[in-house]
Structure 1
Amino acid sequence: MKPEMPSSLASQRLTSVRRRIRDAARQAGRDPEAIRLLAVSKTKPMADIQSLAEAGQQDFGENYLQEALDKMEGLAETEPPLCWHFIGPIQSNKTRPIATHFDWVHSVDRFKIARRLSEQRPDHLPPLALCLQVNISEESQKAGVAPDQAAELADAVAELPKVQLRGLMCLPAPEEEERAQRQPFRKLAALMADLNAGGHSLDTLSMGMSADLEAAVLEGSTLIRVGTALFGSRD
């Protein structure tokens, strides 16, 4: 088992990632403040999340429901309150706790899931923010709605109460070279522009991770999902 991340290292890593985002934003002529950093904390201990929170990180992304619920309970007293994002595959029998406990869901690729999240979102909570996961590289083994079917899904999801369609998310095939990294991000940004031209008001492009965040920022990402660069390599 790896030792817990000391607060000094958490602060150092957070500063480094924010600097990378800032530098890429400036290269693109964008406002760095318009880009949100999501710390992907799946499989990481609560103490590491606490260290990052104390360094100023507020948004955390989880893939595994029970693990996430345990962390939420253990970190419930954190101030300011943490913002929790569900970013993993969603099974129908898991939608109620996701709708009850999370602030964002990035991995919606079927109307059935969006409808269940809407029906099960408690009335006293604000609308659940949703991103549609788009299989932008059109890989047969990847989850996500096909790009040519995204408009139909977006139109249906936008009509649901108690959820708010905020944007699109993708997990493209990994590439080493920046030009190749940028191509799927450019496609996702163009798809969001097309949806907005068709009457939507989407404001979130959830794209880019530790290895390709610069390419994502250059193509318009507004939400970067970073695990390794913040928490270290996975166990």
Structure 2
Amino acid sequence: MRIKDNLNAVTLNIHKACKKVNRDPKEITLIAVSKTKPNEAILEAYDEGIIDFGENKVQELKDKINEINKSDPAIHWHFIGHLQRNKVKYIIEKVDLIHSVDSVRLAKKINEEAKKHKVYCDVLIQVNIAKEESKYGFEEENTLQVIKEIATLEHIKIKGLMTIAPYTDNPEDNRENFRKMKDLYVDIKSKNIDNVNMEILSMGMTNDYEVAIEEGATMVRVGTGIFGKRKYV
């Protein structure tokens, strides 16, 4: 299938999921996860109306931005992978949103680099909702306290939460994880913490984005469902 056909299928699934729970599809931002994909594929998706793209490697992101943005600055770039502190400086002015703030030390480094560049950086706080040893992120019970600490950093703006749910063949297996994330999101939003604007709940990928939407996701990160299986080199 072509990217256009894949996108049509994903869009249809998003609309079906929204209809099921009486949500407006306009509430959902589709992020095309373009890691390992060539620039031509990104531009093909862009031509079909996708403006949000997610990358998880700093060097690959830099290379793509440098090349693609020569011709089209309208793309919104999202950093969705584990971010090492020594690489923050390379993307601080290049991305619209960092999804994966998984430690206070990383948040402080982002703040430091943003201050140097005289910018403000929008971030999501990553939660390891399923407590997987292989995943980064804060545990659910520590998230509120961590957010209160990170919110004091002047050059960071907390925009919401992100999680990477366990990989599963049955998306229903993650419904409870997504439900917990929504509950946490609502609870933190209700606290009205200064410098915390709970606008975004980033959860759900190719295997389970429909269930994530049914449980409250506002951003879904779809790679294989749009571009096909990844080719690693």
TM-score (norm. length: structure 2):
0.93
Structure 2, unmatched stretches of 5+, are: none
2:171–2:207 CA contact under 8 A, matched in 1: no
**Matches of 1:70 and 1:178, distance apart in 2:** 34
Aligned to 1:206: 202
Report which stretch shifted further, 213-222 or 108-117: 108-117
Consecutive aligned runs of 4 or more in structure 1 exceeding 4 Å deviation: none
2:39–2:68 CA contact under 8 A, matched in 1: yes
Aligned to 2:221: 225
- State the secondary structure of the residue aligned to 1:202: strand
Measured after TM superposition, the shift of residue 162 of structure 1 is 2.2
Aligned to 1:3: none
Measured after TM superposition, the shift of residue 100 of structure 1 is 2.2
Measured after TM superposition, the shift of residue 106 of structure 1 is 0.5
**Matches of 2:56 and 2:13, distance apart in 1:** 25
Report which stretch shifted further, 113-122 or 73-82: 73-82
- State the secondary structure of the residue aligned to 1:100: coil
Aligned to 2:133: 140
Does residue 113 of structure 2 align to residue 120 of structure 1? Answer: yes
1:99–1:118 CA contact under 8 A, matched in 2: no
**Matches of 2:99 and 2:171, distance apart in 1:** 24
Does residue 161 of structure 2 align to residue 168 of structure 1? Answer: yes
Does residue 102 of structure 2 align to residue 106 of structure 1? Answer: no
Aligned to 2:16: 23
Tell me how many residue pairs correspond in the alignment: 226
**1:7-59: CA deviation from partner (whole Å, max 9, x where unpaired):** x9222221211111111011110000000000101111111001111111000
Q: Aligned partner of 1:91: which letter?
A: Q
**Matches of 1:134 and 1:219, distance apart in 2:** 16
Structure 1, unmatched stretches of 5+, are: 1-7
**Pairing 1:1-235 to 2, within 5 Å after superposition:** 9-79=2-72, 81-121=74-114, 122-123=117-118, 125=119, 127-200=120-193, 201-235=197-231
Q: Aligned partner of 1:232: which letter?
A: G
Measured after TM superposition, the shift of residue 178 of structure 1 is 4.0
1:100–1:120 CA contact under 8 A, matched in 2: no
Measured after TM superposition, the shift of residue 80 of structure 1 is 5.8
1:118–1:163 CA contact under 8 A, matched in 2: yes
Q: Aligned partner of 1:71: which letter?
A: K
Measured after TM superposition, the shift of residue 177 of structure 1 is 3.2
- State the secondary structure of the residue aligned to 2:198: coil
**Matches of 1:24 and 1:78, distance apart in 2:** 35
**Matches of 1:82 and 1:171, distance apart in 2:** 23
What value does the CA root-mean-square deviation take over the aligned residues?
1.4
